[in-house]
Structure 1
Amino acid sequence: MNVAGPNEAPVRLEGKSVAIFVCWILGFGSLVAWNSMLTIGDYYYQVFPDYHPSRVLTLVYQPFAIGTMALLAYNESKVDTRKRNIAGYILFFLCTLALIVIDLGSSGKGGIGNYIAICVFVAGFGVADAHVQGGMVGDLAFMKPEFMQSFFAGLAASGALTSGLRLITKAVFDKSSNGLRKGTMLFLSISTFCEFLCIFLYAFVFAKLPIVKYYRAKAAREGSKTVSSDLAAAGIQAEPNGMADIGDKLPERLSTKELLVKNIDYALDLFLIYVLTLSIFPGFLYENTGHHQLGSWYPLVLIAMYNVWDLISRYIPLIKSIKMTSRKGLMIAILLRFLFVPAFYFTAKYGDQGWMIMLISLLGLTNGYLTVCVMTVAPKGYTGPEANALGNILVLFLLAGIFAGVALDWLWIIGNGSF
């Protein structure tokens, strides 16, 4: 492959469509294990009825995700992206496999010991998430925006597809003996396979695509040291000190602090998007929406509707005429989402299931659309190393928003006797 020089137009950049598809799969694998845990929440409520599994497991997951992400974001320029992402997918694979082993070993029985073991491996999901999501977003930030959009669409697809599969397994296994458990084992098995597939695709396919080689070689010329292993895996020798030729002078890079200051509004955008979403989803849907005609199907339908609209909305920004790029416009739209809080409260108290389904659909629609708008607009105009660092910063704030939202989610049950 001929890689373009500093002042040349890129040539022979084949593989864009394949790269977009692989990014989708890698995004899917980044959250399929965790979304499976959320989707099989009704099984864990049956096995551990007194431990608030939906809320507790989410609260266990997040500190490890944000703590690991903070360390990786601070040291991102020294962390090898290839090793980071492969390690993350391997950890996802091992943790999902371990959940299957725990359930098989205990024959699906509850108890504090099994619950603690599940919490340990859920914490492993958090560590893996920080490795993969931060690493992939940083990597894709200096490539084409379509790659970032596809990765985030894959994240949403993991929720939509697991929700759809959960509805199918409930219909199939609902009347059978141990139906919930059978559905859970199927979910975890599919997740384990998907994580293995991601390891293979990232390690042996993605790095060798011509268009990916080009962007990584370009980032190396701009001073990035995080792409050297991926370039080596693709058969490209990284130049010493990130220079393409002896006479090249590396551009001066903005520091992480400078990048944060210049993009604090984008970082706050992501924090506010997810603090609102996770203060409602999924704990509120399982424990605070009351009893309706759908019965045990009700929370599953609500989660499925959120995930489906979250997925659909992540493709809307591909239509340039309706993609929001204004920094002020994004902030206003994100702040207006906080009207969902009183809307959900009064709908749960006075509304019927149709209104709640409509409301959760709007929550998913705005979540996915605004996320993709922010993540594809923010990295524009930066060099490879700067875009990588900014991608890690944005994911850190996204995870911080999730953590804060999960903590605030507990406020819904204060005073209702659920403690």
Structure 2
Amino acid sequence: MSDHMQNWELDKTKGRFTALFITWLLGNGSLFAWNSMLTIGDYYAYLFPRYHPTRVLTLVYQPFALGTTAILAYHEAKLNTRRRNLLGYSLFFLSSLGLLVLDLATSGKGGLGIFIGVCIASAGFGAADGFAQGGMIGDLSLMCPEFIQSFMAGLAASGTLTSALRLITKAAFESSNDGLRKGGMLFLAISTFFELLCVFLYAFMFPKLPIVKYYRAKAASEGSMTVTADLAAAGIQSSVNDVAEMEDPKQFERLSNKELLVQNIDYALDLFLIYVLTLSIFPGFLAEDTGSHSLGSWYTLVLIAMYNVWDLVGRYVPLLKPIKLISRKGLIFACLSRFLFIPAFYFTAKHGDQGWMILLTSVLGLSNGYLTVCVLTEAPKGYKGPEQNALGNLLVVFLIAGLFSGVVLDWLWLIGKGW
């Protein structure tokens, strides 16, 4: 190991807990804006009753997320990761601000033109997801697995927090005039502020943490070109070329994306299967196809909240090493077995009461969070920094492809029900 890397060995644990907290916040920020839009779905359903906003907005979001992620994953080795992630969080901020301004400018009116504007913001969220989520998971994949777990827990926490806020705002504004709109405006204002906070966290705090500088310097010593801008932002001017003069050039040889995908195709399929199943049920089916129950207008909000809470819990369960699933065959079997949820939800919606539906939704969320973290913390092991970054990007492509496919399949629940 070079003197350059020996100096950084001393810093490999400093700032670990701060880094875990910031990655949690950044994970939260990667979905907070989008979850805010989903969580105020009852407001958009009121404004645009003819356009199935819960399903349509999700269907608009996913192609942009998938297309952006796929393109960036293909070019990841040459990308400036710092610029990519900052662009993603900035786009989240601007899209949230745009929704807020649109509603204020139109005084909360409906109509096709305004719905198109909301769809444009949804597309902006999708593109931002492609920049930020893929970039962050690729970047964190070359660090320690705990950062991936914390980031993924933050993603789930965004759903839990938005659901909790939605229940609070519904209770606070339910009896007031224009209560749905007031709650929606509060959500968009919080989302706008939080996304701006994420921009500052990633730009000024995260790259300067000693443990983050250590892993990025290590990745640079292994030939990574994606970390140089972040190293420069942290005050480290040595480039990959400087390190190359001290190290064996052969260490910069890396597996191609195709080779990485072949070696990890089961992990990629795991993520695809997890999310194609989850998004074929959540949130569209839960929002529109669960009938009327004693909870009334609270019913859908409670279902979405329970999914989000247990998804968050599931992402912390793998921290308990004895019950973390690490077998590759076991992961495939677990992901395939989740397709039993489809008949379970179908018959529960037809014949079960709200208690059974809440329980089933909770198990859906728990299994989704648990399996996601199990896959993403196991897959990048045993590779050099540039390969870990590339593999992280590839896995996110399959995750979002699963999301998109699930959103499309979600429309099958409407067969025979009319429009």
User: What's the TM-score, normalizing by structure 1?
Assistant: 0.97
1-structure distance, mates of 2:36, 2:7 = 46
The structure carrying a bigger helix percent of its residues is 2
Q: Deviations over 1:312-369 (max 9, x none)?
A: 1101111111111110000001100000000000000000000000000000000000
CA distance in 2, matches of 1:4, 1:331: 43
Alignment of 1:140-151 (within 5 A): 140-151=140-151
Deviations 1:195-219 (A, max 9, x none): 0000000000000000000000000
Distance in 2 between residues matched to 1:217 and 1:123, nearest whole Å: 35
Whether 1:277 and 2:269 are equivalent positions in the alignment is no
Tell me if structure 2 keeps the 8 A contact 1:260–1:393: yes
Residues 231 and 237 of structure 2 are in contact (CA less than 8 Å); yes or no, is this contact kept in structure 1? Answer: yes
SS at match of 2:109: coil
Instruction: Work out the CA distance in 2 between the residues paired with 1:344 and 1:247.
Output: 57
Is the CA contact (8 Å cut-off) linking 2:27 and 2:152 kept in structure 1? yes
Distance 2:129 2:144 in 1: 22
Tell me, in whole angstroms, the C-alpha distance in 2 between the residues paired with 1:174 and 1:412.
30
Pairwise CA RMSD: 1.4
Deviation at 1:11, TM superposition (A): 1.2
For 1:222-301, what aligned pairs fall within 5 Å after superposition?
A: 222-241=222-241, 243-251=243-251, 252-301=253-302
Runs of 5+ unmatched residues, structure 2: none
Instruction: Please state how far the C-alpha of 1:5 moved relative to its aligned partner.
Output: 5.0
Which residue matches 1:47? 47
- Residues in 2 aligned to 1:201 and 1:290: alpha-carbon distance in whole angstroms: 43
Structure 1 gaps of 5+ residues are none
Alignment partner of 2:249: what SS? coil
> Residues 223 and 240 of structure 2 are in contact (CA less than 8 Å); yes or no, is this contact kept in structure 1?
no
User: CA contact under 8 A between 1:143 and 1:215: conserved in structure 2?
Assistant: yes
Are the equivalent residues in 2 in contact too, given 1:275–1:402 (CA < 8 A)? yes
Q: Secondary structure at the match of 2:9?
A: coil
| SS of 1:243 mapped into structure 2 | helix
Report the Cα offset of residue 239 of structure 1: 2.6
SS at match of 1:223: coil
Residues 9-408 of structure 1 mapped to structure 2, 5 A cutoff: 10-13=9-12, 14-241=14-241, 243-251=243-251, 252-408=253-409
Q: How many residues align?
A: 417
Q: Distance in 2 between matches of 1:4 and 1:346?
A: 64
Deviations 1:241-283 (A, max 9, x none): 3735434324220000100000000000000000000000000
Q: Any idea what SS the aligned residue of 1:169 has?
A: helix
Distance in 2 (alpha carbons) for counterparts of 1:63 and 1:239:
36
Residues 115-157 of structure 1: CA deviation (Å, up to 9, x unaligned): 0011011101000000000000000001011100000000000
Structure-2 change in CA distance of 1:379 and 1:240 (3 Å): closer
Partner SS, residue 175 of structure 2:
coil
**Percent identity between the two aligned chains:** 69
Aligned residue for 2:236, secondary structure, equals: coil
Q: 1:320 to 1:9 in 2, by over 3 A?
A: farther
Deviates more, 1:249-258 or 1:68-77: 249-258
Tell me, yes or no, if the aligned pair for 1:224 and 1:242 is still in contact at 8 Å.
no
Q: Cα offset for 1:163?
A: 0.2
Deviation of the 1:10 alpha carbon: 1.8
- Give the secondary structure class of the aligned counterpart of 1:314: helix
Greater CA deviation, 388-397 or 250-259? 250-259
- Higher deviation after alignment, 161-170 or 244-253: 244-253
Asked whether the 8 Å contact 1:223–1:250 carries over to 2, the reply is no
Q: Distance in 2 between matches of 1:230 and 1:52?
A: 42
Q: Is the 8 Å Cα contact of residues 223 and 242 (structure 1) preserved in structure 2?
A: no
What's the offset of the Cα at 1:377?
A: 0.3
CA distance in 1 between counterparts of 2:349 and 2:343 reads: 10
Amino acid at match of 1:332: F
Say if 1:7 and 1:203 are closer, same or farther in 2 by CA, change over 3 A.
closer
